[in-house]
């Protein structure tokens, strides 16, 4: 029988792993309208600041703010189709297909580079060095998302980090499996010389921790 470990509790969906409901739930999207930035706001559920945009019809929306954004900027400097961006340029908040909304490179300081362009598609290089082919009609924002360098500031207090993690549905603090008792985790217990054996692929979810059904263990024989 499996043990009630973190992977089971997270899948069960308890309040510990559930992001708390909040009134401010902005929808990040591109629109085919002209507008200007009227405010820079903070979203508790993300690290990147948002730009509040007022469109021509007095309707308001939100987009991811880029580095250097200020109140009064027009949207002409933000959303552009990949076909209108030159090769080697940095883009973020990229659509995966036309009118899908920003999906890629939305965290602070992350951006993609346009490697090459064809007749209908282009190839971009993501921060992970992976290359992806997208349509030239997909929209993106020029530059880099604002908020870069946020990790350089220390938390100072454990309570501040706890509030930030709970706002995003993360568990904090985390307890390692080796620090638990034997009844709470497969890695728990204080047995000397304890060896973590590989786990079968047919094991119950509570036992699937560590190395799951490896193809080979140890040094390769010559």
Per-residue pLDDT, averaged over 199-216, amounts to 78
Per-residue pLDDT, averaged over 179-190, amounts to 80
Per-residue pLDDT, averaged over 165-173, amounts to 81
Per-residue pLDDT, averaged over 92-102, amounts to 92
56-63 — which CB contacts under 8 Å span 24+ positions?
57/33, 61/27, 61/29, 61/31, 61/35, 62/26, 62/27, 62/28, 62/29, 63/28, 63/29, 63/30, 63/93, 63/102, 63/141
Contact between residue 114 and residue 87 where contact means Cβ atoms under 8 Å apart = yes
Per-residue pLDDT, averaged over 56-80, amounts to 85
- Across the chain, mean pLDDT equals 84
- Bigger pLDDT: 1 vs 18: 18
Q: Kindly report the pTM of this predicted structure.
A: 0.72
pLDDT band at 77 (very low <50, low <70, confident <90, very high): low
List the beta bridge partners of residue 35: 55
15-150 CATH choice from 3.40.50.1970, 3.90.79.10, 2.60.40.420, 2.30.30.30: 2.30.30.30
pLDDT band at 17 (very low <50, low <70, confident <90, very high): confident
pLDDT at 122: 94
pLDDT at 1: 47
- The domain spans of the chain are 15-150, 154-189
SS3 at position 42: coil
- Bigger pLDDT: 115 vs 180: 115
List, for residues 186-206, the tens digit of each pLDDT value: 778 876 656 677 888 888 777
Checking if the pLDDT of 25 tops 60, the result is: yes
List, for residues 118-138, the tens digit of each pLDDT value: 989 999 999 999 999 999 999
Per-residue pLDDT, averaged over 76-95, amounts to 88
């Amino acid at each position: 029988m499996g043990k009630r470990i973190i992977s089971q509790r997270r899948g069960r969906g308890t309040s510990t792993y559930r992001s708390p409901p909040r009134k401010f739930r902005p929808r990040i999207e591109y629109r085919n309208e002209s507008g200007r930035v009227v405010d820079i706001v903070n979203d508790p559920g993300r690290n990147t600041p948002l730009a509040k945009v007022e469109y021509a019809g007095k309707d308001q929306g939100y987009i991811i703010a880029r580095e250097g954004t200020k109140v009064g900027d027009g949207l002409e400097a933000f959303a552009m189709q990949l076909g209108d961006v030159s090769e080697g340029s940095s883009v973020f908040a990229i659509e995966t297909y036309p009118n899908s909304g920003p999906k890629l490179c939305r965290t602070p300081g992350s951006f993609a580079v346009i490697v090459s362009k064809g007749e209908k598609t282009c190839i971009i290089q993501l921060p992970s060095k992976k290359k992806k082919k997208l349509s030239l009609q997909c929209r993106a924002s020029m530059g880099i998302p604002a908020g870069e360098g946020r990790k350089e500031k220390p938390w100072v207090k454990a309570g501040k980090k706890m509030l930030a993690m709970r706002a995003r549905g993360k568990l904090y603090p985390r307890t390692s499996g080796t620090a638990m008792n034997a009844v709470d985790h497969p890695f728990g217990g204080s047995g000397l010389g304890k060896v973590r054996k590989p786990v079968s692929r047919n094991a119950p979810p509570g036992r699937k921790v560590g190395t799951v059904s490896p193809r080979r263990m140890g040094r390769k024989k010559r």
